[in-house]
Structure 1
Amino acid sequence: MATILEQLRSMTTVVADTGDINSIKQYKPTDSTTNPSLIQAAAGMPEYQPIVDGVLTQARKDEGPAASDEEVAKQAFKTLAVAFGKKILEIVPGRVSTEVDARLSYDTEKTIAAAHDIIGQYESAGISRERILIKIASTWEGIKAAEQLEKEGIHCNLTLLFGLHQAIACAEAKVTLISPFVGRILDWYKKDTGKDYVGADDPGVKSVTTIYNYYKKFGYKTQVMGASFRNIGEIEELAGSDLLTIAPKLLGELQAKSGTLERKLDPEKAKSMSIEKIPMDKATFDKMHAADRMAHDKLKEGIEGFSKALEDLEKILAKRLAELSEPAAAR
């Protein structure tokens, strides 16, 4: 009998949620996605030191000898995620998601500029923009940036998505796909209520199911990619989602498990459901966001977390740059 992972692949596009190239080689996903925390973790692994050192050496050349290690590190991190992305695209047949600096999440114009820079780096390396998804936080400003980028043929993955209002705004902006964070929603509810949740009762599962059915009911082209899983039970409950991005540990558990996997999400079933359409504008978005404590808390926390990961990564890069600058005899 086919494993649960093999059955899942027959109904859902499986994406690897990692910056670890060895894990991507092992589980052979169609696509791969990273975030600042994952890049930070991968950058600290000895096997990826040559990638990091290559990026730092080039950044030092670009910035010149007068620039401080800290200034060079800030420039280097902008190309490090792309350097990992290029390596990942040598393995996966599909796309890689590369994230815009989370510190720009409330600035539409700077987000657009950063996306142009990322795409420019890939295209200068001979990689088509069709293989890249620009990851942007699902703030109103981020969604508006994605709307403009999509008009330019730059495809976007809207991340840190926790509420239906964010999902509707993304769909109406015609973004390519969204990444609702299943596990982080579960974390919030467990902390808020003191309860545990399993299976279809998991609040994160419920959220993604609602979004998926809304999209399919009203014929939106934006795809749903469930993300941030805490256990394989959540993944099994979302079998049939357009895509699911899964960490290597859980991919391993799915690969090791046998049995029959039931399809839980179905576009044809969604079309027959009674669902109210919600017109979305900034006032409605802001009102719904303020009323949804979970989405409000987790979006803020997520942006702050990714921003801190970037700051930590910059410190790691500056430290490594100083080591590379030392005379060989001193190392």
Structure 2
Amino acid sequence: MKFFIDTANLNDIAEAEALGILDGVTTNPSLMAKEKISGDKAVLAHYKKICDITDGDVSAEVISTDFEGMKREASELVKIADNIVVKIPMIRDGVKALAWARSQGIKTNCTLVFSAGQAILAAKAGATYVSPFIGRIDDIGWEGMTLIEDIAEIYAIQDFDTEILAASIRSGKHIIQAAKAGADVVTCGLKAFDSLFNHPLTDNGLAKFLADHAKAAQG
């Protein structure tokens, strides 16, 4: 399973890259705003900085909600770097844009997916990635991981090439569940990845090893 980091923070991206676990980056207008990046030129420049850190796929989101606007934005975004993936919303014109992008050899990430039916539409239109929002589904009382399982089963039966990118991941537990459910990719903040390090037996074991070493060094 691939690890994408969901952020616009350059330090977090660089840290994930240094850990050797980073396969790509996802971001969106909200994450850009969190880093106080505003204005079209500044946003495009920031995407370039992200692409300079990692060779992995970097999802850059369109703002337009009409077909022509999405085509125009996608054409500009892919000029930033070879590893740009255009993030397109799951709406009617978005599906048209996915199909157009496929015809142009542009990689895409279909975002805001909340049902298996939407995931089928995205795959049929040729999306490179489909992004079910697990945490948001859990928030309304449904089971987000069940959706991952359903999409994984359908894609396997139908032999779709689209990769399942589990988004809105809230914790290390979510990462493990997504891996078991059949996600090809998870995207989340650095904090969720960091939580995978944690286990009390690791901490206790390391403390004992260091204490034993200290005793041995004292003779």
Q: State whether structure 2 residue 78 is matched by structure 1 residue 119.
A: yes
Equivalent residue runs for 1:222-261 within 5 Å: 222-239=162-179, 240-257=182-199
1:109 to 2:68 alignment: yes
Please say if 1:36 is aligned against 2:25: no
For 2:131, what is the secondary structure of its paired residue? Answer: strand
Deviation at 1:246, TM superposition (A): 1.4
Which residue of the other structure, out of 95, 117, 131, is the alignment partner of 2:57?
Answer: 95
Tell me the C-alpha RMSD between the 2 structures.
1.7
Cα offsets for 1:41-84 (capped at 9, x unmatched):
012xxxxxxxx5xxxxxxxxxxxxxxxxxxxxxxx622333222
The 3-state SS of whatever aligns with 1:225 is strand
Q: Does residue 26 in structure 1 map to residue 15 in structure 2?
A: yes
Cα distance in 1 between the residues matched to 2:200 and 2:25: 24
Answering whether residue 143 of structure 2 is matched by residue 208 of structure 1, we say no
* Residue in 1 that maps onto 2:2: 13
Are 2:54 and 1:84 aligned? no
Cα distance, 1:20 vs. partner?
Answer: 0.6
Query: Which has more strand, going by share of residues?
Result: 2
- How far off its partner does 1:203 sit? 0.5
1:142 aligns to 2:89 (yes or no):
no
Picking from 148, 157, 160, the partner of 1:217 is: 157
- Cα displacement (A) at 1:88: 1.3
From the superposition, tell whether residues 24 and 219 of structure 1 become closer, same or farther in structure 2 (CA, over 3 Å): same
SS in 1 for 2:56: coil
Mapping of residues 126-205 of structure 1, within 5 Å: 127-128=81-82, 131-189=83-141, 203-205=143-145
Higher relative contact order (CA 8 A, sep 6+): 1
Aligned-partner Cα distance in 2 for 1:78–1:166: 29
Residue aligned with 2:53, SS = coil
Q: Deviations over 1:151-206 (max 9, x none)?
A: 101111011110111100011111111111000001112xxxxxxxxxxxx71111
AA aligned opposite 1:217 = I
SS for the counterpart of 2:168 is: coil
Give the TM-score normalised by structure 2.
0.83
More helix by share: 1
TM-score by length of 1: 0.56
Q: Distance in 1 between matches of 2:200 and 2:5?
A: 20
| Identity fraction in percent | 32
For residues 248-283 of structure 1, give each alpha carbon's deviation from its aligned partner in whole angstroms, at most 9, with x where no partner exists. Answer: 111111233489xxxxxxxxxxxxxxxxxxxxxxxx
Q: Tell me the matched-pair count.
A: 195
Give the superposition deviation at 1:35: 0.6
Shift in CA distance, 85/186, structure 1 to aligned 2, threshold 3 Å: same
Given that residues 167 and 188 in structure 2 are in contact (C-alpha distance below 8 angstroms), is that contact kept between their aligned partners in structure 1?
A: yes
**Runs of 5+ unmatched residues, structure 2:** 202-219
SS at match of 2:39: helix
Runs of 4+ deviating beyond 2 Å:
76-82, 255-259
